[in-house]
Amino acid sequence: MEHTSGHSHIPRRHERLFHSPSLGPENALSYWWKTVHPLRVMWNFTWIYAARYCPSLAIKRNLLRLTGMKVGQHVSVGLAVVFDIFFPELITIGDNTIIGYNTVVLAHEFTVNEWRKGPVIIGRNVSIGANCTILPGVIIGDGATVSAMSLVNRDVPPGAFVGGVPARELVGAKKEAP
């Protein structure tokens, strides 16, 4: 699904990530408080979890913007969606996009030996089904559709219809007319 256009190189997801070794002898998550200030995490947690169960889409958008997320007009975020509490400012959601129930959007990942962070860009008029996971560094192009229960670990081209674990283009799938 990742692509290059012409001779210019579009960085792959992994290349868009900032990489850092664990900041001590234990696993990298043990030192999360060295990567982002704990008060900032508390601030982000408060607004993201208030938005998670807020029934008003307009209020939900405004709560998410308090964290530094870039949320377009008419974005609809479903019930129980969770956004990255460490780096929500790295998440951009384009106008008129829908993010389905219980989806997780991450801008960071911790492993035993390192931690990584990177931007997540979700384009305009994108439909993301329920129970999806979107990893850091991913770009989902305008007009794309992500099927429910998908793991998006690489870029999704504009207008594509993807699904699965990991997500891949679904051949022969027809998108519904808007």
Average pLDDT, the chain: 92
- CATH architecture, domain defined by 13-169: 3 Solenoid (2.160)
What is the rounded average pLDDT of the residues 65-79?
98
What is the rounded average pLDDT of the residues 5-22?
77
What is the rounded average pLDDT of the residues 6-10?
56
pLDDT tens digits for range 92-132: 999 999 999 999 999 999 999 999 999 999 999 999 999 99
pLDDT of residue 13: 84
pLDDT of residue 171: 75
Total length of the chain: 178
In degrees and rounded to multiples of 5, residue 92 shows phi and psi of -125, 130
What is the rounded average pLDDT of the residues 34-63?
97
Contact 177, 170 (CB under 8 A): no
β 91-93/108-110 pair status = unpaired
Contact 13, 118 (CB under 8 A): yes
Question: Which structure tokens are listed for 84?
Answer: 């990255």
Continuous segment of H or E residues that includes residue 47: helix 38-52
